[in-house]
Amino acid sequence: MKLIIVGGDGFCGWPTSLHLSNLGHEVIIVDDFSRRRIDKELNVQSLTPIFELSERIEAWFELTGNVIRYVEMDISTKFDDLLNLLEEEKPDSIVHFGEQRAAPYSMKCTSTKNYTISNNICGTHNILNAIVESQRDIHLVHLGTMGVYGYGHEEPIPIPEGYLDVKIDTIDGREITDSIVYPANPGSIYHMTKTMDSQMFQYYAKNDKLRITDLHQGIVWGTQTELSSQDERLINRFDYDGDYGTVLNRFLMQATVGFPLTVHGTGGQTRAFIHISDTCKCIEQALIHPPTSGDRPLILNQMAETQTLSDLAKLVQSLTNCEISYLPNPRSEAERNDLNVRNDLLRSFGWEPTLIKDSLLQEITEITRHYSDRADHSKIPCVSYWTKNNEPADVSHR
Ligand code: NAD
Ligand code: USQ
């Protein structure tokens, strides 16, 4: 296949580009390097030393002879350039990673809220609009989030893959049923953009018969894949700062540098997790199992397992002897929740996930210990609050 990977310079996009190129697909990365710019704006850097995209691509060519091309483009503002690219390159599929993806950054201040909305919503809409305008049958694979569902209930009711079969009414003794999109319940401006993306997908699949797959992905952990660990120039990014670092990678880094693990609240929150190497494998599966034109968007829950944060912290403690801090929660989120997620479709394609308990130690020895001298401890605390007065939020309504 010929593939355009939007956001292919990012944490999930880079190893996925390598994976797909290694499988023999022709890969063109489109990225505006906003993620690298935001690092500068926040005065932080990846724990791992990441190379420029041009150097990464050159190293990949030296090692494998495979060519990955790239185009610098902001898809949220450059509609004509995007359309020209689709018309010139005629890709079979687009994989869309190119959004502002940190919930804390999206909640930081008015300008980061506005940026997240305009970047994510206009970017996704430009891709859909450009596919229609190109008059090509391009399959769009989008990286969505488990957060669109609102992380389940107090009872362990299974979260289906995107759609819910409901009884609407009984008329003259006849049950009226329908299959509806699972009610959206976002917990941040960032997560809200993903629920808005999903509305656009419903519309474009219905009106323009676009083939769209939306992957509702859990929190990605880990750094390297087999391919990215072949040469230091291919190394993937590792975010640990209070805005972009995600919880499990943060815990691993904190344990290594002797910073007590920063559990928000009681740690009773349950979240879904997936290893970065499985992100790549699931996207491969999504690309070879597209929906048919005229179908509603295909929604797959891309996650391997669920864990409470306190269990994760204790697991990391058992491996490293680190301290754990239970901090006032800067976010507005339920103190505890159950999360029971169906992922039958990806499993039915034969995917066998990597589990946290089997790979944590390797991550600590190969990444967090190896690069610990690059850590800036002052960037670890979460300083983005969900309420305007920077007080821990009242979560009684969640
Ligand atoms: P990332 O920030 O590391 O990568 C995103 C890439 O997209 C960056 O290289 C950035 O420069 C680029 N980009 C952003 N806006 C763009 C635009 N307008 N035009 C062109 N390029 C643009 O994020 P990531 O962790 O790789 O996440 C990728 C996708 O996966 C996101 O959509 C995110 O919501 C989703 N996701 C991530 C996780 C996770 O834990 N990292 C979990 C679930 C879903
Ligand atoms: N948390 C802590 N301590 C920390 C950091 C986070 O307890 O130091 C808690 C948060 O309060 C939250 C949970 O851990 O309850 C997850 O936070 P996170 O920052 O790891 O993940 P989140 O903000 O949900 O976002 C990440 C990605 C996002 C993706 C999402 C998938 O940044 O792009 O969509 O995970 S999901 O969580 O399934 O919605």
pLDDT (0 to 100) of residue 396: 41
What are the pLDDT digits (tens) for 5-32?
Answer: 999 999 999 999 999 999 999 999 999 9
pLDDT (0 to 100) of residue 197: 98
Helices within the chain (DSSP H only): 13-22, 34-42, 53-64, 79-89, 103-106, 110-117, 123-134, 189-207, 247-257, 276-288, 309-320, 344-348, 356-363
Q: What is the ipTM of this complex?
A: 0.99
The reply to whether ligand 1 has any atom less than 6 angstroms from the CB of 147 is no
Q: Which of 28, 29, 35, 120 to mutate to test the pocket of ligand 1 (most atoms within 8 A of CB)?
A: 35
What are the pLDDT digits (tens) for 350-367?
Answer: 999 999 999 888 888 889
3-state SS, residue 305? strand
CB 322 within 8 A of CB 368: no
**Residues 6+ away with beta carbon under 8 Å from 43:** 379
Better-scored residue on pLDDT, 340 or 394: 340
**Residues 6+ away with beta carbon under 8 Å from 92:** 1, 2, 3, 138, 139
Residue 124 pLDDT exceeds 70: yes
CB 70 within 8 A of CB 30: yes
Residue nearest to ligand 1 atom 35, measured at CA? 143
Residue nearest to ligand 1 atom 10, measured at CA? 35
Q: What length is written for the chain?
A: 398
Task: Return the ∠ at Cα 143 (arms to 117 and 150), rounded to 5°.
Answer: 70
Fold classified for 2-238+268-305+336-357? Rossmann fold (3.40.50)
The reply to whether ligand 1 has any atom less than 6 angstroms from the CB of 32 is yes
Residue nearest to ligand 2 atom 34, measured at CA? 145
% of the chain residues with pLDDT over 90: 92
pLDDT band at residue 198, thresholds of 50, 70 and 90?
A: very high
Give the distance (Å) from ligand 2 centre to CA of residue 46.
Answer: 17
Give the distance (Å) from ligand 2 centre to CA of residue 11.
Answer: 15
Give the distance (Å) from ligand 1 centre to CA of residue 266.
Answer: 29
Ligand lying nearest the CA atom of residue 221 = 1
* Pairwise CA distance, residues 202 & 295, whole Å: 10
Which active-site residues does the annotation give?
A: 145, 190, 194
Give the distance (Å) from ligand 2 centre to CA of residue 102.
Answer: 8
Ligand lying nearest the CA atom of residue 116 = 1
Residue 398 pLDDT exceeds 70: no
Give the distance (Å) from ligand 1 centre to CA of residue 341.
Answer: 23
pLDDT (0 to 100) of residue 397: 38
Ligand lying nearest the CA atom of residue 15 = 1
Average pLDDT over residues 141-149: 97
What are the pLDDT digits (tens) for 53-81?
Answer: 999 999 999 999 999 999 999 999 999 99
In whole angstroms, how large is the CA radius of gyration of the chain? 21
The residue extents of the domains of the chain are 2-238+268-305+336-357
Give the lowest-confidence range in 46-55, 61-70, 213-222, 386-395: 386-395
* Pairwise CA distance, residues 54 & 70, whole Å: 8
Residue 341 pLDDT exceeds 70: yes
How many beta carbons lie within 10 A of that of residue 200, not counting itself?
18
Better-scored residue on pLDDT, 156 or 63: 63
Pairing of strands 305-308, 270-275: antiparallel
The reply to whether ligand 1 has any atom less than 6 angstroms from the CB of 143 is yes
The reply to whether ligand 1 has any atom less than 6 angstroms from the CB of 35 is yes
Residue nearest to ligand 1 atom 17, measured at CA? 74
Residue 41 pLDDT exceeds 80: yes
The reply to whether ligand 2 has any atom less than 6 angstroms from the CB of 247 is yes
CA 371 to chain centre: 24
Strand partners, 264: 327
The amino acid occupying position 300 is L
Mean pLDDT of the chain: 95
Q: What are phi and psi of 280, to 5 degrees?
A: -60, -45
Q: DSSP state, 182?
A: P
Residue 195 pLDDT exceeds 60: yes
3-state SS, residue 184? coil
